[in-house]
Amino acid sequence: MSNDTVIQALPVGLTDRAAKRIAAILSKEPSSTMLRVAVNGGGCSGFQYDFVLDDGKSDDDMVIEKDGAIVLIDPISLNFLRGSEIDFSDEMIGAAFKIKNPNATASCGCGTSFSV
């Protein structure tokens, strides 16, 4: 299986690289901990991605589970993230989660904020 394999059936994909990194992070946390990915107002382009460890799942959260990784996305954020892919990049300049979002019309240089 390639590192770029993505879950296709869900509105938001998760690469193998991202799932592996999320699972590694969660393995050091209490068993009820999950990664919440959200879109908030702010950032230099209007909206910004937020990655937070969370131990509470809401009934209307979308849940992505893959290889020990559990990601939560609330319904409002899902509207901005639909069709996106969550990836993890580990480069010389740093390691970070990256979201490839087809809904973004512009993004900042750091890749953490975007506009629609």
Contact 21, 10 (CB under 8 A): no
Encode pLDDT of 46-98 as tens digits: 788 899 999 999 999 999 999 999 999 999 999 999 999 999 988 877 888 98
The neighbour count for residue 43, using CB atoms within 10 Å, is: 18
Count CB neighbours of 33 within 10 A. Answer: 16
List the chain domain ranges. 13-115
Residue 107 has pLDDT above 50, yes or no: yes
Tell me what the mean pLDDT of segment 33-44 comes to.
88
- Is the domain covering 13-115 a CATH 2.60.300.12 domain? yes
Q: Is the pLDDT of residue 32 over 90?
A: yes
Distance CA 8, CA 24 (A): 23
